[in-house]
Amino acid sequence: MLKTPKITVLAALLLGTTLSGAQAASGEVQMVLKDFLSTNENQATYVENIEKALAEKGHDIDIKVVDLPSGSYADALGVMLLSGDIPDLIYFQGGDEKIAAQGVLEDWRPWIEKTEYLKDALYPHNKARLENYPYLLFVYPLRGWQPVMRSDWLEKVGTDVPKSLEEFKALLEAIRDGDLDGNGQKDTYGFTAGGNLGELDGFLNPAFGIDATWLKDENGKWVHAQISDQEREKLMFYHELFEEGLLDPEYVTINWEAKEDKFYTGRAGVVSASRAGNVVVYETKMNTIYPDTGLTLLDPPSGPGGQGLQAVDVSREGRGWAMSALSENKEAVVALLDFMASPEGQMMERLGLPDIHHKGSGENIEVLPALGSWESPFMVAANWESPVKLLPEAAEKYLQNMQEYFIPDNQFAFPADFAAALDATDNDYNAWAYRFVSGEVSFDRWDEYVEAWKADGGSILLEYAEQQLQ
């Protein structure tokens, strides 16, 4: 249940301001976070360190970690909240909308505006999503598919990082023909994926003009990207890759583990990573097989439609921190997050615990191997620069590209009664896309696919989109 502040409002006023000039805050902050437990020794120590650092800034904040029963986090959290036991700071991973609809979650925007550090720590997508859904805050870099390859293989083929679709295809051809693994066989595909074409779409969609979910057709009508002329052109390009042995024909049946195994064993030259942490893992594992082998992150190639990474849904955050509208300690909650966004707070968030994840201080900080398993619990600020190298170059570039090539989507939420139509049209798209790419059906049947898509619910999606996007 909610607790009363540890000290009175008068006492808080007597504390004055923090060293940074912000109003001192006090009280108990109950927080619940997935996989963050009061019984975990390292996590408990981390909370104590934060409390000590806050006290040095003039804040008297007691952080109480709420432990949930084992099992599904979302289910256990939902049961607790519906019982009326509502912490001050809540991490949601689904299930937040029904709680927000009851007026239990606070609008973050006016609170963030008053902060010293947090307001500048947000990424562009955070700001856009808060305007559409102001109840969740997830200050972490965007995730999206970006291509990586072995740096030594890029040197072997003797080409620069590809800048256009033509150069990208030429790189895949060089990988296919170059016998870069030296086994005397042409058994390496240029690109492979772990089950779907989304790993190509992530960095190729904008090259074909697919810079949003909803596009205007030649008559000025809104059309879903899945049935657009631009999608047809893109799938024709994918078919070329498939037909010429540049795209692994098993891309649709293998999982992520098989994909990565092909990458490590030289059966594929380029794969996509969905986040910076994946890039780190890929490089680390590659080094265990081929010592001192680094990775190169490839920029998205430009095409007739432009250049960039796949458009990002900014309708809302899918997960993140919420503040209880019923909390008596909102100032303390905001002071906590503002501190975590500060330079000192980010040092703690990103470097973990002294003598476990790092040692030393200032210019003499040394990162320890255990840092690889450390997850920043509160946030990864957009504007913080580490005094020491935390990520390999390819992973750093991944983060830079996610901001540089950020494209906001015009995607919107459909009411629940559209769920069947959305599922059916997605299924149609996935099935027909594979048939087109593999050559099972000719692109002469594109209109047949479009009509099937519309018949299975696409028509009502188009009608609703016209109302929402006008």
Q: What is the pLDDT of residues 19-67, one digit of tens each?
A: 334 578 999 999 999 999 999 999 999 999 999 999 999 999 999 999 9
pLDDT score, position 22: 53
Residue 127 has pLDDT above 50, yes or no: yes
**Domain extents for the chain?**
9-142+316-382, 146-297, 416-469
Q: Please, which pLDDT band fits residue 470 given cuts at 50, 70 and 90?
A: confident
Residue 442 has pLDDT above 80, yes or no: yes
**Comparing C-alpha atoms, which of 9, 20, 14, 18 is closest to residue 59?**
18
pLDDT score, position 17: 37
Percent of the chain with pLDDT over 70: 95
Query: To 5 degrees, how large is the angle CA 120–CA 134–CA 88?
Result: 90
Residue 164 has pLDDT above 60, yes or no: yes
Taken in order 241, 243, 245, 248, the sign of the CA dihedral is positive
pLDDT score, position 1: 33
Over residues 433-441, mean pLDDT: 97
CATH architecture of 146-297: 3-Layer(aba) Sandwich (3.40)
Over residues 95-116, mean pLDDT: 96
pTM for this one? 0.85
What's the pLDDT tens digit per position in 224-264?
999 999 999 999 999 999 999 999 999 999 999 999 999 99
Q: How many of the other CB atoms lie within 10 Å of CB of 18?
A: 19
Over residues 168-173, mean pLDDT: 98
Over residues 147-173, mean pLDDT: 96
pLDDT score, position 14: 30
pLDDT score, position 13: 30
Q: What is the CATH number of domain 9-142+316-382?
A: 3.40.190.10
Report the chain's mean pLDDT, rounded to a whole number.
Answer: 93
Q: Residue 82: phi, psi to the nearest 5?
A: -70, -20
Q: CA–CA separation, 4 vs 62, rounded Å?
A: 11
**Comparing C-alpha atoms, which of 256, 264, 259, 258 is closest to residue 282?**
264
